[in-house]
């Protein structure tokens, strides 16, 4: 493909400003706010986009899908439900460039994903760009841009989406791993509290207390952290009931 140099420079300058704004905004330190900012910036950066979404196709993903409005969220949900659509293809089986283009869901692209296309056209959506972001199993995802017009995304818009996807993927990758780290730290604290309760209750050493938690986890077919959480919550509740009341 060939592009006019001035158009490319203008597009790059706009993308740079939006990425700088995302990284400078302190609100984006929180993952949910970051995703909202990324979606908003994507709509502003790519001509033809009327809305956007971030879709995760792994049913065990910790983070939920997000969209700029309820109609787009519903179209994402349809794709997940019927197991077809550009967001599914981009996340799970993307082309080499990572970008899936649906130029006209009411026309030539209808037969690629017929079940989804019917819902999309009925909702007033004719074009979709879907770009793979996360590649790890638990963070597998796509950034999706929705357009009301058919052929809403020309070649320049497609390049803009690809360029925007690079910093967006890096930002979301960092946010996902920060969440994973925070979750791991929280789990460690819970397990530590549960070990302390068992040490106090049964007079055992820390290693023995941990072994008791592991055995309970296996017997109950529960995650270790869930067993620890249950024990801590039960102990706190019992202590609150046993606390003397003052008159």
Is domain 5-178 in CATH 3.40.640.10, yes or no? no
For residue 37 the two structure tokens come to 């900012």
Instruction: Indicate the pTM of the whole model.
Output: 0.66
Region 186-191: mean pLDDT is 80
Q: What is the pLDDT of residues 43-54, one digit of tens each?
A: 988 999 999 999
Contacts of residue 194, Cβ cutoff 8 Å, sequence gap at least 6? 209, 213, 227, 228, 229, 231, 232
Domain span(s) for CATH 1.10.10.10 in the chain: 181-242
Fold of 181-242: Arc Repressor Mutant, subunit A (1.10.10)
The CA distances from residue 153 to 43, 100, 157, 166, in Å, are 12, 12, 5, 19
Has residue 139 got a pLDDT over 90?
no
Q: What is the pLDDT of residues 75-100, one digit of tens each?
A: 999 999 999 999 999 988 888 888 99
Domain span(s) for CATH 3.30.450.40 in the chain: 5-178
Distance CA 170, CA 87 (A): 19
**CA terminus-to-terminus distance, the chain:** 82
Which residues of 27-104 form beta strands (DSSP E)? 51-56, 66-67, 99-102
Region 2-29: mean pLDDT is 58
């Amino acid at each position: 493909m060939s592009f006019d140099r001035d158009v490319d420079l203008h597009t790059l300058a706009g993308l740079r400003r939006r990425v700088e704004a995302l990284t400078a905004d302190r609100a984006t330190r929180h993952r949910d706010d970051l995703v909202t900012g990324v979606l908003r910036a994507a709509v502003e950066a790519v001509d033809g986009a009327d809305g956007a979404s971030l879709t995760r196709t792994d049913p065990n993903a910790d983070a939920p899908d997000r969209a700029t409005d309820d109609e787009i969220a519903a179209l994402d949900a349809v794709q997940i439900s019927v197991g077809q659509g550009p967001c599914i293809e981009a996340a799970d089986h993307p082309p080499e460039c990572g970008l899936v283009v649906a130029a006209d869901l009411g026309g030539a692209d209808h037969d690629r994903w017929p079940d989804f296309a019917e819902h999309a056209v009925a909702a007033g959506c004719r074009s979709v760009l879907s770009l793979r972001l996360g590649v790890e199993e638990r963070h597998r995802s796509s950034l999706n841009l929705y357009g009301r017009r058919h052929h809403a995304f020309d070649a320049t818009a497609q390049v803009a989406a690809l360029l925007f996807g690079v910093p967006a993927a890096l930002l979301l990758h960092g946010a996902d791993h920060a969440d994973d780290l925070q979750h791991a730290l929280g789990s460690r604290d819970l397990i530590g509290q549960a070990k302390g309760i068992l040490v106090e209750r049964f007079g055992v050493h820390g290693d023995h207390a941990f072994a008791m938690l592991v055995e309970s986890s296996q017997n109950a077919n529960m995650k270790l952290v869930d067993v620890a959480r249950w024990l801590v919550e039960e102990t706190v509740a019992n202590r609150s009931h046993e606390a003397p009341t003052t008159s």
